[in-house]
Amino acid sequence: MDTCSINSKVNLSISELIAVALSSEGAVICDNGALVVKTGKRTGRSPKDRYIVKDESTCSSVAWGSVNQPFCPEKFKSQWGKVNGYLNDRVSYESSLQVGASVDFGYNVNIKTEKAWHSIFLRHLFISDNKKNIPQSKTWELISAPGLLLDPVEDGVNSDAAVILNFSEKKILIAGMRYAGEMKKSMFSALNYLLPEMGVLPMHCSANIGEDKDVALFFGLSGTGKTTLSADPKRALIGDDEHGWGPSGIFNFEGGCYAKCINLSKNKEPVIWDAIRYGSIIENVVLNSDGEPDYTDDSLTENIRAAYPRAYISNKSDANSGGNPSKVFFLSCDLYGVLPPVAKLSPEQAAYYFLSGYTAKVGSTEVGSTSSISPTFSVCFGEPFFPREASVYADLFMNKIAETGAEVYLINTGWTGGAYGKGGVRFDLTTTRSLIDAVLSNRISGFKKSSTPYFNFDIPESIPGINPEVLDPRLGRDEDSFDRDAAALAKMFRDNFKRFSTQEKIKSAGPGDSV
């Protein structure tokens, strides 16, 4: 760190940090032993308050705009001094951690936080055992001062809080934000900028590995099932959110999980349920009179989250990595009930739907979102976290698919039998798990063209134990209403894809404008 304060507590144990959080930070322990915290008015990410320092190294390599907002280097220097001065006047908590379970592509991260529970969070989400010998030259600094509120006029920001990344100085500054997800996502954004130059594809995806060492990836936004579906009792978890795809395969960026807990139950999600215990952190959950978490209560937010280390997962990949994936799943929560529950994509379709990143906002992780559900497109299934142009990530993805022969599947975890709010129901978790298991175990006998107009999908002819009508979304529905929904969704895809300048064969792989 730039300065050393006599108030700094360095590398406290988890139990010592928990004691501080209980005594002075308003945290409580619930009946399962987890630490329960509240994050105030910000219960999700604040994308309008995220900035990247614009200087000689980033001016032509960052996709500047509403996602990647530029910040003045001189202003950053001022803010860094201000936040460090604030932390030095208070008790703060420091740790030396790592991101990226790879000796070649990992980075050291020195953290300094105002909140003890933030330090616990990062000890879980980043890699704390530091077994990889990462050179000191690859060291970042992250400071977080949630109690310091900024002045938009004086500090050159949009509100009383900010997340600012400085790639030239390897620094991340966070002020005014208690929501812990900002810290992990800021370092994810840093890796998303750094790794493509090394030929590594950074990915917003979960990953697991089977007994035969076959690796599967699950891309998706919040609420699509990325964490839940990768937590498969029959397969070892690599990670639930952020990975790199390098020359020799997949490696996790993190050392823990940050799972969404709305409507969590032991029967449906036993891996996540069992991981929430002493040492884990639950954000913004409501407790009942017996001190038990009520995961159905969304009065504070739908974005209830649990943070826990991979050590709390019995069935995990000890290496925190794996080989090249054989199966890749795009999880899309379709509000229109048009997309099939499973479809096999051609390489061109894979590129098209990777760039599109279609899903629905379900319990959004962003501040300012409402409880209403709406369709959205997020480039590469993670637009808020990618500093470079979309083509950089799309080209890397296509190259990886071509090099490895990995199969890509679109999975609809959204609605079937009708559109959202118009008679449709959401696919239940058991059905989706069965479909993914059929793909992973190669139990699909063959494929045929879907009857869905505008969309040229290959869907399974049959899957043992699955009603054939479920596999083709047009079956069992009023054809006129289905065709209207299909036309509306196809148009949304085409309109969204106008922003991309890419090969014609990829553009033509998307939905057409006629049946």
Active site residues: 45, 185, 204, 222, 226-227, 241, 305
Residue 335 to residue 375: CA distance in whole angstroms: 7
Strand pairing partners for 260?
Answer: 305
Which residues, other chains included, contact 121 with Cβ-Cβ below 8 Å and sequence gap of 6+? Answer: 180, 183, 184, 281, 307
**Which amino acid does the sequence have at 223?**
G
Residue 37 to residue 115: CA distance in whole angstroms: 11
The dihedrals phi and psi of 380, each to the nearest 5 degrees, come to: 60, 25
Cα dihedral sign, 63-68-73-74: positive
User: Which among 146, 104, 98 is positioned nearest to 125, based on CA atoms?
Assistant: 98
Which residues, other chains included, contact 493 with Cβ-Cβ below 8 Å and sequence gap of 6+? Answer: 356, 358, 510, 511
Which residues, other chains included, contact 187 with Cβ-Cβ below 8 Å and sequence gap of 6+? Answer: 99, 109, 126, 140, 142, 172, 253
Residue 260 to residue 409: CA distance in whole angstroms: 23
Residue 87 to residue 477: CA distance in whole angstroms: 60
Residue 512 to residue 490: CA distance in whole angstroms: 7
Residue 423 to residue 274: CA distance in whole angstroms: 35
Distance set, CA 148 to CA 141, 181, 188, 472 (Å): 18, 18, 23, 54
Residue 470 to residue 131: CA distance in whole angstroms: 47
